[in-house]
């Protein structure tokens, strides 16, 4: 008799971007594929979608501050070290820059620095922000470190511009996340 397979634990980081509302569909898609999703949000993300929405969808407490829970003084360390995948979707140019340069000045950037799990980022921003030399440099550095980048889509953006920077379809993000988990599991089985 085989033992039941443990649900992969995914930390979903959400940053302050209009695409934050689409992260609701990412939570649902990950759950439908058997994942246990825990949400961490930046203060700016909560301006777009409230933590209560993600709490209701994920069935887990939503962490919005390093000092969120008096019983866990280290949520920026405990959860990121326990997870199987650290996914930030949407990921702003600001958060990408923080992760690239090791700046840990809020809950999510600190958690990204503390995680021992694979990291996947789904950039979402204005086309000019995406095409900026500094953003492209940060993407290059992150890729060279093994960070998985989920390419943004091209098209009409919330600001009215047209170009690359759109949040990918939630199903695409879920597919990439599950593929990373499968690769991780198969490489662990080979060890």
Residues labelled as active-site residues: 159
Closest residue by Cα to residue 68 from 57, 81, 79: 79
Q: Is residue 162 part of a domain?
A: yes
Rounded CA-CA distance 37/174 in Å is: 12
Rounded CA-CA distance 86/38 in Å is: 10
Q: Is residue 136 part of a domain?
A: yes
Question: Beta-carbon neighbour count of residue 4 at 10 Å?
Answer: 5
Q: Is residue 52 part of a domain?
A: yes
Q: Is residue 141 part of a domain?
A: yes
pLDDT of residue 88: 98
Residue 149 belongs to domain with CATH number: 3.40.50.1950
Q: Considering its fold, how many domains does the chain have in total?
A: 1
Helices and strands, number each (H, E), in the chain: 8, 7
pLDDT of residue 159: 74
Q: Is residue 3 part of a domain?
A: no
Q: How confident is the model at residue 82 (pLDDT cuts 50, 70, 90)?
A: confident
Q: Is residue 2 part of a domain?
A: no
Q: Is residue 175 part of a domain?
A: yes
Instruction: Indicate whether 2 pLDDT > 70.
Output: no
SS3 47: helix
Closest residue by Cα to residue 86 from 116, 65, 63: 116
Q: Is residue 1 part of a domain?
A: no
Domain span at 83: 9-190
């Amino acid at each position: 008799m085989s033992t039941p397979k443990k649900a992969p634990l995914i930390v979903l980081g959400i940053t302050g971007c209009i695409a934050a509302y689409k992260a609701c569909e990412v939570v649902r898609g990950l759950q439908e594929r058997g994942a246990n999703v825990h949400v961490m949000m930046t203060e700016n993300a909560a301006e777009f979608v409230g933590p209560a929405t993600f709490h209701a969808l994920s069935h887990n407490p939503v962490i919005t501050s390093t000092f969120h829970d008096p019983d866990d003084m280290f949520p920026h360390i405990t959860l990121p070290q326990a997870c199987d995948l650290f996914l930030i979707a949407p990921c702003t140019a600001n958060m990408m820059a923080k992760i690239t340069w090791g700046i840990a000045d809020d809950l999510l950037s600190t958690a990204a620095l503390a995680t021992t799990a694979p990291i996947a980022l789904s950039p979402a921003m204005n086309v000019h922000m995406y095409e900026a030399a500094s953003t492209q440099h940060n993407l290059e550095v992150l890729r060279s470190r093994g960070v998985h980048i989920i390419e943004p889509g091209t098209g009409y953006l919330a600001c009215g511009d047209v170009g690359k920077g759109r949040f990918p379809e939630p199903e695409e993000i879920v597919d990439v996340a599950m593929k990373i988990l499968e690769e991780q599991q198969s490489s662990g089985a080979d060890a």
